[in-house]
Homo-oligomer: A and B are copies of this chain.
Amino acid sequence: MNIPQTSFPRVVVIGGGFAGLAAVKGLRKKELQVVLIDKHNYHTFQPLLYQVATGGLEPDSIAFPLRKTINNLENYFFRLADVNKVLPEKNMIETSIGNLEYDYLIIATGSKTNFFGNKNIERHVMEMKSVPQSLNIRSLIIENFEEALLTNDLEERKALMNFVIVGGGPTGVELAGALAEMKKGILPKDYPDLDIRQMQINLIQGADKLLDAMSSKSSEKAEHFLVKLGVNVWKNIHVTDYDGKYVTTNSEETFEASTVIWAAGVQGDTIDGLQPECTIERACRFKVNEFNQVVGYDNIYAIGDVALMQTKDYERGHPMMAQPAIQQGKLAAKNILALLHGKKQKAFVYNDKGSMATIGRNKAVVDLPNWKFQGFFAWFVWMFVHLFSLIGFRNKAVVFMNWVYNYIRFDRETRLIIRPFKNKNKYSFRNNDQ
């Protein structure tokens, strides 16, 4: 991998998401060598992927080149690689570009889609965990409408215009809202020769409320906003299968739909090599102690979505979202520095800053620890929190400009198909992360 051996201890960080970047930042300008490894050369701001998928934002504006985060830092290295395995007995990782020894390892590989073992679903649905996947959804939506124009078979046309979103968490809710806005503002103008009323947006939730990690008031309001936008909300229903044409559920309800987007669950994106019987628990996350050390290993930390830290308040681990990841990343960096200086580590305490979700063009629901509110003002708060969380001035500016433009013009202009055409090789690009 051509990383020079220095007299400083080497910390290897796998993954440049929220957790990994926070850790790298905390290890800046210390007497350390830091190596950041990621399979992409950019950080993805995942909370806005749904806007890329629905044509509101260009992909470059929610991504940030990882090399820029280590510009001008001595003894900092970035490598673009897939990590295949950890060899803890050798303090070494195996990657697609060779092996690398570490003194400390921080695993911040995040999460991947959880299909709960259903291969048929995995093969036919769309995922939305990465920039390329979001671009695939964007292309598919447009291609479906182009195809719907051409058919005179009413059933086929309805299936092409039927969008099923599985999972009523923030991702599903935000995506459903964005699709509903497309149906209202954009598609009727773009497709005057189609009856856009035939477009259906079905949001299927297994639990008895949407956004079930949020307050009842926010759940209810979110559902209310979505229904007003024309989304069909289905609760207490589990999708059992999808063959590329029909969605079957554990109820009598079935759906004929060309596009099914799976936002029903995530699991830790773990790496092989650590003793699975003791370390991988619930939803495939590495079990860690209160310092984020992987159980059984003193010099291996797991942080963010891939880590499962069970505490009194969080018996099933912390929520798999940005805030716990950032906070664990910061603390893991501090704890490694503490160990190096012979000091004591500090236990992680999650500072819950709240959660939020947006619905459509000007509504949101926000749960702060001491204040829960919904509607237009919540949307305003949502917008500024997301804008200021984006990394990089250019990204903030481009996103802001697009939002202002889209808001004023009821429009979204980034609706180019730059991914493979569906009709050339129908399923070739699904679940393909390139």
Q: Is A67 an interface residue (CB 8 A)?
A: yes
| Given A58-B58, A150-B97, A65-B193 contact (CB < 8 Å) | no
B398 engages A402 (CB within 8 Å): yes
B41 engages A415 (CB within 8 Å): yes
Chain A interface SS verdict (over half): mixed
A434 engages B416 (CB within 8 Å): no
A152 contact from B2, B402, B414, Cβ within 8 A: B2
From A39, which residue of chain B is reached at the shortest CB distance?
B421
From A58, which residue of chain B is reached at the shortest CB distance?
B60
From A415, which residue of chain B is reached at the shortest CB distance?
B65
Please, which residues of chain B bring their CB within 8 A of the CB of A405? 393-394, 397
A-side interface residues, number (CB < 8 Å): 56
Contact with B along A286-297 (1 / 0, CB 8 A): 000000000000
From A190, which residue of chain B is reached at the shortest CB distance?
B67
A59 engages B416 (CB within 8 Å): yes
- This chain's copy number in the assembly: 2
Contact with B along A32-76 (1 / 0, CB 8 A): 000000001110000000000000001111011101100110000
Contact with B along A71-86 (1 / 0, CB 8 A): 1100001011000000
A417 contact from B40, B191, B395, Cβ within 8 A: B40
B150 engages A1 (CB within 8 Å): yes
Bound Cα distance from A424 to B96, whole angstroms: 10
Please, which residues of chain B bring their CB within 8 A of the CB of A397? 401, 405
A: residues with CB less than 8 A from B are 1-2, 40-42, 58-61, 63-65, 67-68, 71-72, 77, 79-80, 97-98, 131-132, 135, 142-143, 146, 149-152, 189-193, 392-395, 397-398, 401-402, 405, 413-421, 424, 434
